[in-house]
Amino acid sequence: MKLIIAIIRPDRLSEVKAALFRAGVTGMTLTPVSGHGGEREVVHSYRAERVLLEFHDKVRIEMACSEPFVEPTIQAILEAARTGGVGDGKIFVQPLEQVIRIRTGERDNSAL
Amino acid sequence: MKLIIAIIRPDRLSEVKAALFRAGVTGMTLTPVSGHGGEREVVHSYRAERVLLEFHDKVRIEMACSEPFVEPTIQAILEAARTGGVGDGKIFVQPLEQVIRIRTGERDNSAL
Amino acid sequence: MKLIIAIIRPDRLSEVKAALFRAGVTGMTLTPVSGHGGEREVVHSYRAERVLLEFHDKVRIEMACSEPFVEPTIQAILEAARTGGVGDGKIFVQPLEQVIRIRTGERDNSAL
Ligand SMILES: Nc1ncnc2c1ncn2[C@@H]1O[C@H](COP(=O)(O)OP(=O)(O)OP(=O)(O)O)[C@@H](O)[C@H]1O
Ligand SMILES: Nc1ncnc2c1ncn2[C@@H]1O[C@H](COP(=O)(O)OP(=O)(O)OP(=O)(O)O)[C@@H](O)[C@H]1O
Ligand SMILES: Nc1ncnc2c1ncn2[C@@H]1O[C@H](COP(=O)(O)OP(=O)(O)OP(=O)(O)O)[C@@H](O)[C@H]1O
Ligand SMILES: [Mg+2]
Ligand SMILES: [Mg+2]
Ligand SMILES: [Mg+2]
């Protein structure tokens, strides 16, 4: 099992949700976040110059899934989240050792 | 060490906090999130039918703990978060390689 | 690759951002969170005494980085986030198996 985290543009969220639904993703958790992805703004003030890290509103999507769903989930996000401009976002894949459904106590693949 | 993530109903939060306290959990981080757990709503509009993913407010609890605390923490959450209805939530357990307490610089089990 | 999570005091955020920038961190995701780190408050009410877990506003910083950046990133956070008082925060390091840049489809170290 893996935990997939995607950071995307808020205005791509409904496309991404629809693509995840078509890819068979049945659960996800969304968090509004603020992100920096390398953009810099040079601020000029009286006799000085400062570099500021720019931050933009993003949405963080967290999805636990079983191995066969990892690559289809990544493809769904890539297609639906991409605009081609800088700041389209990132996907992270992490190991996941246990999953438990609270209602039933089921564990791991039966809980997904 | 493990990182335990639990997604629960907001109205179970105070019960869950109390149960975690009794289980000896000494640190946790809470985030308000929005979640989807398989529920679908069929939306009928003029000559069409669309499937929408439902989203509900949830609370995400993140807890770093040492191995002996993993199972008691899971049990505490299961007992306090369960209502028996769909949407009670999920628990995820991930590997955790390092923990550092910022105040002292202590690492790993001494930092928990 | 690793995923580093730091929970810090909101009023240390701009110092921490500047230190991360100097340490060469090029991407990060911020979430406003609420945290408990062992503090307890004893509440006295009529003929009873209850222990409450205190919660404080914190900022959660999530950074994906390659192995050589892990220790410099930790040092940058330790120096910039520390006040010496309880509640300075925690750093967690987790394994990270894949990173994908959505704009280009690049993977892993080329995506960082
Ligand atoms: N290394 C990282 N760690 C954590 N979050 C990141 C990282 N890089 C990017 N992010 C998150 O993803 C969001 C979008 O990043 P962004 O798309 O700018 O990545 P990028 O690698 O700079 O790609 P691009 O060159 O297309 O801009 C950021 O605002 C931030 O929230
Ligand atoms: N696979 C998943 N990945 C990430 N978050 C999830 C996942 N499944 C559920 N969640 C989170 O947990 C919340 C509650 O999920 P829910 O309890 O509906 O899970 P479920 O598996 O559908 O169980 P039930 O059958 O009892 O409804 C969701 O709103 C979402 O935030
Ligand atoms: N075990 C933990 N799991 C998840 N989050 C934690 C944990 N411990 C602390 N945190 C987060 O870090 C924040 C700051 O914690 P804090 O600095 O009080 O840690 P501490 O170990 O109690 O150190 P100190 O003794 O300096 O207070 C908490 O409010 C919480 O958000
Ligand atoms: Mg960028
Ligand atoms: Mg459900
Ligand atoms: Mg503390």
For A4-24, b/e burial (b = at least 16 CB within 10 A) is bbbbbbeebbebbbbbbbebe
CA-nearest residue to A74 within chain C is C100
Cα–Cα distance, A3 to B31 (Å, whole number): 17
> Is ipTM over 0.90?
yes
> pLDDT tens digit string along A53-78?
889 999 999 999 999 999 999 999 99
- Please name every residue paired with C47 in a beta bridge, in sequence order, or none if there are none: none
Kindly state if the Cβ of B86 falls inside 6 Å of ligand 2: yes
Confidence (pLDDT) at B101: 98
C2-8 and B98-101: which strand pairing?
unpaired
Kindly state if the Cβ of C108 falls inside 6 Å of ligand 1: no
Confidence (pLDDT) at A22: 92
Q: What is the largest distance, in Å, between two alpha-carbon atoms of chain B?
A: 65
C14 touches chain A (CB under 8 A): no
Confidence class of residue A43 from pLDDT cuts 50, 70 and 90?
A: confident
CA-nearest residue to B90 within chain A is A101
> pLDDT tens digit string along B98-112?
999 999 999 999 999
Cα–Cα distance, A7 to A103 (Å, whole number): 29
Q: What is the largest distance, in Å, between two alpha-carbon atoms of chain C?
A: 65
Confidence (pLDDT) at C38: 85
What six digits make up the tokens of C90? Answer: 């925690």
The closest-lying atom of ligand 3 relative to the alpha carbon of residue C36 is 29
Angle between helices B67-81 and B13-22 (to 10 degrees): 150
Ligand nearest to the CA of B56: 2
